[in-house]
Amino acid sequence: MLAERREVAFRLLEGLETIEITRVILARAAQPLPTPLGTLNAIHLVSAMGWREQYKRLVFAIHDLALSAAARASGFEVLG
């Protein structure tokens, strides 16, 4: 049971990519966004916007209400 869960977790992690937080991302996150956000949520949203510009599709899986509202207002499909 534990081995199966571990295998699933590792498969999920293999499918993840990280995004470098650049000065461009930080500068965009400091600009007005569709809804008020805290710093970390603004960085998440702007990073997702950059990802979407490059890869065209991104679905947000969110439990944070403020980030969810901002993502929807920015045209993202949102789960959660």
Q: Work out the angle at residue 49's Cα, subtended by the Cα atoms of residues 29 and 69, and round it to the nearest 5 degrees.
A: 75
pLDDT at 23: 96
pLDDT tens digits, 13-46: 887 778 889 999 999 999 999 899 999 999 999 9
pLDDT of residue 29: 95
3-state SS assignment for residue 41: helix
CA atoms within 13 A on the CB side of 38: 7
Cβ neighbours around 25 below 10 Å, total: 18
42 vs 62, higher pLDDT: 42
For the chain, the structural domain boundaries read 20-79
